Chains A and B, each alone.
Chain A
Amino acid sequence: MKALLNCTVNGAEHSVLADSRDTLLDLLRDRLGLTGTKEGCGNGNCGTCTVLMDGAPVNACLVLAVEVPGRSVFTIEGLCTDGALHPLQQALVEHGGTQCGFCTPGIVLAAKALLDENPRPSEAQIRHAIAGNLCRCTGYGKIVEAIAAVVQEQSR
């Protein structure tokens, strides 16, 4: 069954015809063509599809598209609109915090949610904030370093 949904993604209003079985992840990737959000498991275990809903990180594969109207969704595409990288993205580039890149959009948004909430997290708090995001390439060290560097830069 199809339903017409009105939703706000990265500040823009959209009216989308979606299948009632669609998840927010399907809505973003298949209906809106926002493929920066990746699917790693489809059942909320890997964190790859992390997006922000009303500012809080959620697994887009665990949210139904029909739950989205009235909420504000923020994806990786919303972070870098004028061509300049967000400091978290820049730090991941400089510190080698991205390898295959598949987990990276989710990690960026999980880290953004942390810094929006707590601008001066400890290393333990950083690790805790990204503990729901699996990365198989980096071993996490360079990701944690990158986020910590942003914290240090912003606390100056």
Chain B
Amino acid sequence: MSDGAEAAPALKTIGQRLPRVDARERVTGEARYPADLALPGMVYARLLRSPHAHARILRIDTTRAAALRGVLAVVSAADFPELPVGAMIPMGEVGYDMWMVAQINIARRKVHWVGQPVAAVAAVDPHVAEAALALIDVDYEPLPAVLDIASAMAPDAPVLHDHVFTKGIEPRPRTPGNVCSRTVIERGDAQAALKAARATARLSVQVDTAHQGYLEPQAVVAQVDANGFATVWASTQGQFTAELMIAAMLGLPASKLKVVPMEIGGGFGGKIAIHGEAAAVRLSQKCRRPVKLVLSREEVLQGGSGPPAAALIDVAVGAGEDGRLLAITGNYHLDAGGLPGLSPSLVMQASAALYQCPNLDLQGYDVVTNKPRTEAYRAPVGIQAAFAMEQAMDMLCQQLGMDPLDFRLRNASVTGSTMPIGTPFPSIGLTTILERVREHPCWRDPVPEGRLPRGRGLALGYWRGTSMTSAGHITIAGDGRPMVTMGAVDLSGTRTTMAQVVAEEFGLSIDDIHIHTGDSKSVGYSDGAAGSRVARTMTAALVEASRDALAQLRRRAAEKLQCAADQLDYASGMFRARSGGAAISLAELMQATLTDGAIVGRGVSTKLPLGVEIGAHVCDVEVDDRTGLVTVQRYTAFQDVGLALNPAAVEGQMEGSVVQGLGWALTEGFDYGPDGRLRNASLLDYRMPTALDVPKIECVIVETPVPNVPYGVRGVGEVPIVPPAAAVANAIARATGVRITRMPMTPERVLAAIERARRGKV
């Protein structure tokens, strides 16, 4: 394994702005997503979903549906083995509880949100399948529902799960409740330090649920052959994770199932867990036909997939006369939806990590409510935390009369300073980023004058990311070209950047590399594409695989050239004897040794050092103080990416991520009615940014390589969604003097805040 220093010699392919190797099939529409598949004899599935936010299922009778002409199979929870709470499969820090995954896919005994699947049907065409849903008889006993964090935590609140006793509280509670866990990060005495501080700022924010907004709804085709072997063509962030989940839900041995990852039309965290795949396989087993299930957009939004968490966050920060931070306190309540959610720990770390601060008191609570079970969304809960913390820091700067950039520089975490979890920071470039902000026109130029109030905001973002396992292998074709199979799906240009890595290792052109993602039976286990881990860890795996393949080729070349293997030089597809000048190309070598068996270079990366992501964003807004409309006029994102494998791909990740953040910041929020039904379950009423709503996002790439990671690569894709809401809020505050504490910052909410402030002044 190399270290960051190895990136110093001139790189030929890595670092180039190359187009995506898979771009051609995308612009021609030839790229195949699961919904594009049609198999002989294929039938169509639909899911019956709960109309209640909270209810006991008393009876499910599928007799009438099964009798409808054209219906081939109907399944409900009774058709799946019951999994105990805590049946874990690996993925991420803590893995996935299969009891929860099963509930997300098909409810048993109770429903916990509107839209939770209750039954599934397969029929000869989608119209018949739809008609059959109305013939499935389900008797419910409706129960009182809780739809927000505060009512879920009320002393007399209806309890969602009898087995949930709050973890992290001593003594263990004697009755079940809706708070699943409490997490604490403490350092020093933050409350005392806050009291003694020269300046303090406090802020409470509320963040509405949003959605990942991938354009491709979940889709799957499942086929079970005569021997009972199931093939699942899926739109998934991880073919191995999907396989583990489907196998557990069906009680299938791993050798009886493979998941083929098709092109994925956006995931952003929402396609890690399965949403209907196991039901499609069960239906296919029952009716002996290939089964296609494609969710509608309304299903995707209403509860057929997991949105990210709503949050209530209270923070307080204090600093001394010199502008040095003395204390950070925070209470983080995350709304997990109908089943226990992500640990609040990551978000608590994220919001405090970028500041050196002697006293911390952070407490996080994971709360269940009768809404769709939440899933990850790009740096999960990072934007919510930054919306609170980065506004509080800005308020503190205003209290101190200090420039927000100077304040950040004074308190910035540096390599070796202590992270919130108590360990030293690995190599980070925060101060470098901040110096780059200071020099840049986006910060230096005055805010342009306008007819309406304008302001500029600065906000930072941190995301830890993860590493986990990536595997790949490389065979060599008869013409000497490397054929790469990797275990990670391509969410963000992975095929392109990994082809660049292999081209670099082999000294070949990227056009000489063939690369694809393997199915779950044709490549080594890899964790899902999540947590900004794939580019970094797959680089490590494919560097290892390339060197393994080259070592095998070297032995063959030595034999052919009749010299010792260590007397050969390799460069640009050619082995050359150091003395005598004999040489053989990879193509000649493969032709000469075609009958000697396959060259297979193998690589795997586990537990690679983290490539923490850090960004600083600067945003200019104009606020129409008569309508509350906020227009983003200029946006610049600075980010330390370690080393940009492909700057165009890096910018693509940053620009897309920022615009998702701006969407949530300004317009994207779920509107639940009192019955737990989503009132804006369409892409007209759930308002994502269009090309008219956002400016061109400027990107400034900083490169501080991560030691002991091949080429020094960091995660890229997640952190740019973290600062935007806070950057916009800070800009609004500088423009109007008003703090917006509810996200999204819709015109209605901004105007109300401005009017409240006006009334307060009168």
Contact = CB atoms under 8 A, between A and B. Distances in A.
Given A136-B656, A138-B655, A37 B263 contact: no
B682 A85 contact: no
Nearest to B35: A39
Given A96-B19, A96-B20, A100-B214, A134 B28 contact: no
B610 interface: no
Given A19-B127, A131-B690, A143-B691, A40 B216 contact: yes
Given A37-B29, A42-B297, A138-B656, A96 B649 contact: yes
Contacts of B127: 19, 21
B635 to A, nearest CB: 9
A103 to B, nearest CB: 5
Contact of A130 (B212, B655, B691): B691
A134 B127 CA distance: 28
A108 interface: yes
Contacts of A99: 20, 492-493, 652, 656
Interface in A93-133: 93-94, 96, 98-105, 108, 126-128, 130-133
Contacts of B492: 99
A154 interface: no
Interface string B18-39: 0110111111111111011010
A41 B32 contact: no
A25 to B, nearest CB: 11
A90 B27 CA distance: 8
B534 interface: no
Contacts of A29: 36
B20 A98 contact: yes
A78 to B, nearest CB: 10
B217 interface: yes
A104 B26 contact: yes
Interface in B176-219: 212-217
A132 to B, nearest CB: 8
Nearest to A123: B696
Interface stretch (B4-12, B264-272, B578-586): B264-272
B683 interface: yes
Given A46-B215, A96-B648, A139-B658, A89 B28 contact: yes
Contacts of A144: 691, 696
A41 B26 contact: no
B659 interface: yes
Contacts of A105: 27-29
B697 interface: yes
Nearest to A143: B691
Contact size class for A? 35 or more
Contacts of B296: 42
A46 B31 CA distance: 19
B660 interface: yes
B694 interface: yes
Given A101-B263, A134-B690, A136-B660, A40 B23 contact: no
Given A33-B38, A100-B266, A101-B265, A142 B215 contact: no
A36 B29 contact: yes
Contacts of A30: 38
Contact of B26 (A98, A133, A136): A98
A76 B649 CA distance: 25
A7 to B, nearest CB: 19
Contact of A139 (B33, B38, B655): B655
A141 B634 CA distance: 13
Nearest to B211: A136
A103 B692 contact: no
A138 B213 CA distance: 13
B218 to A, nearest CB: 12
B216 A85 contact: no
Contacts of B688: 134, 136
A40 B658 CA distance: 22
A45 interface: yes
A12 interface: no
Given A127-B691, A134-B690, A137-B656, A93 B24 contact: yes
Contacts of B268: 136
Contacts of A126: 691
Interface of A: 19, 21, 29-30, 33, 35-43, 45-46, 48, 75-77, 79-80, 85, 88-90, 92-94, 96, 98-105, 108, 126-128, 130-144
Given A39-B217, A40-B265, A128-B692, 11 more contacts: A38-B33, A38-B35, A42-B297, A76-B28, A76-B29, A77-B29, A99-B492, A100-B214, A104-B27, A130-B691, A139-B658
Interface of B: 19-20, 22-33, 35-36, 38, 125, 127, 212-217, 263-266, 268, 294, 296-297, 491-493, 648-649, 651-652, 655-660, 682-684, 688-692, 694, 696-697
The 3 closest A-B pairs by CB, nearest first: A36-B29, A101-B26, A102-B265
13 contacts: A19-B125, A38-B29, A43-B297, A46-B297, A76-B29, A92-B23, A94-B19, A99-B20, A99-B493, A133-B690, A137-B656, A138-B659, A140-B690
